[in-house]
Amino acid sequence: MSEPVIITSPSNRIIKEVRSLHDKKGRQSLKALLLEGSRLVSDAVESGARIRYFVASDSFYKKNRSFFSGWPEKKVICVPESLFERIGETRTPQGVMAVADIPEYDPNSVLKKVRRIIALENLQDPGNIGTIIRSADACGFEAVLLSKDCADPYNSKTIRSTMGSLFHIPVIVAEEFYRVLEELKANNILLAAAHTRDALPCWKADLKGNVAVIIGNEGNGITEKIMEISDLTVMIPMEGGAESLNASAAASILMYECMRQREKEIL
């Protein structure tokens, strides 16, 4: 393994590049994202993330040189503790981060082949989006579709919530979200929108086939447009006192129900 590159100046080009990845504009410009923490970096690399370079604090590198031995071809940047703290986003830095390519997919190719997809309309919480991406990956869904008004899927909180799943499953941000849904419908994909009222209990709905589960905004739910184009609305019956579930919890339950029905059909 080659020796690390030592950087001490906050005005260094690479340091400026890392800090620019805190913002959506910077991520889009560089087509890159920032991974922070040893667990997240390891999960991302093992999940196929294309790492551009690692950044480590002096103390982390001295104690954990073996952490980088699995990727000898990747450059390691070493910086003083104080500088590392300035360029990271986490409150308690672990001493290591990585800059990786944003995963790229051909949306048309993905959407033509997809049979199970979750669509998110105007979700604003990055943690919700990250958890949904992780659940979609776990439940065998083939893609995640976001409306353009959703929170950035490459936000640091989103990335941490996915635990590596961001690099397993295509995430597509659609400029024309409703048109894409209508195209999926024309391609024999059932549009099943989550709703809390006057909807079919999820276990009574036929969700074992080709399906797009649609989740609406955390506060307002699905829009009238979604109501118009959906084939059916589904709900999660609850016996307790809660009126509704968190968006990511509801999405996870509905995707699991789709998986359960498919498995039951196979058996």
Domain count, the chain: 2
Are 43 and 133 in the same domain? no
pLDDT tens sequence across 241-256: 777 789 999 999 999 9
The DSSP bridge pattern shows strands 190-194 and 211-215 to be: parallel
Q: Which residues contact 162 (CB under 8 A, 6 or more apart)?
A: 130, 131, 133, 134, 137
User: What are residue 231's phi and psi, to 5 degrees?
Assistant: -80, -30
Are 138 and 222 in the same domain? yes
Are 97 and 126 in the same domain? no
Of the residues 101, 121, 155, the one at which a domain ends: 101
Are 195 and 262 in the same domain? yes
13-22, 88-97, 137-146, 235-244 — which is least confidently predicted?
Answer: 235-244
Tell me the average pLDDT of the chain: 93
pLDDT tens sequence across 107-128: 999 999 999 999 999 999 999 9
Domain that holds residue 219: 107-266
Radius of gyration of the chain (CA): 21
Q: What's the first-to-final CA gap in the chain, in angstroms?
A: 50
Q: Pick from 228, 132, 119: which is nearest to 176 by CA?
A: 119
Of the residues 101, 133, 160, the one at which a domain ends: 101
Eight-class DSSP state of 80: -
| Whether residue 74 has pLDDT greater than 60 | yes
In the prediction, which pLDDT does 197 show? 80
Evaluated on CA atoms 160, 164, 167, 172, the torsion sign reads: negative
Are 66 and 91 in the same domain? yes
Average pLDDT over residues 195-203: 89
CATH code for the domain in which residue 241 is found: 3.40.1280.10
The alpha helices in 91-139, defined as continuous H runs, are 107-113, 126-138
Are 122 and 210 in the same domain? yes
Contact present, 218 and 149 (Cβ < 8 Å): no
Are 90 and 146 in the same domain? no
| Whether residue 192 has pLDDT greater than 70 | yes
Are 71 and 125 in the same domain? no
Average pLDDT over residues 163-177: 93
pLDDT band at residue 1 under the 50/70/90 scheme: low
The structure tokens listed for 128 are 């919700």
| Whether residue 13 has pLDDT greater than 90 | yes
Q: How far apart are CA 164 and CA 204, in angstroms?
A: 33
In the prediction, which pLDDT does 267 show? 57
pLDDT band at residue 70 under the 50/70/90 scheme: confident
In the prediction, which pLDDT does 125 show? 95
> How large is the greatest C-alpha to C-alpha distance in the chain, in angstroms?
63
CATH code for the domain in which residue 25 is found: 3.30.1330.30
3-state SS assignment for residue 223: coil
Are 12 and 132 in the same domain? no
> Which whole-number Å values give the CA distances from 221 to 105, 206, 242, 248, in the listed order?
28, 22, 16, 12
Q: Pick from 210, 212, 183, 217: which is nearest to 119 by CA?
A: 212
User: What are residue 53's phi and psi, to 5 degrees?
Assistant: -165, 160
Are 122 and 254 in the same domain? yes
Tell which wins on pLDDT, 47 or 102.
Answer: 102
Q: Pick from 151, 108, 107: which is nearest to 133 by CA?
A: 151
Of the residues 57, 76, 101, the one at which a domain ends: 101
Are 128 and 93 in the same domain? no
> Which whole-number Å values give the CA distances from 169 to 32, 184, 192, in the listed order?
17, 18, 20
This model's pTM is above 0.75: yes
Are 47 and 147 in the same domain? no
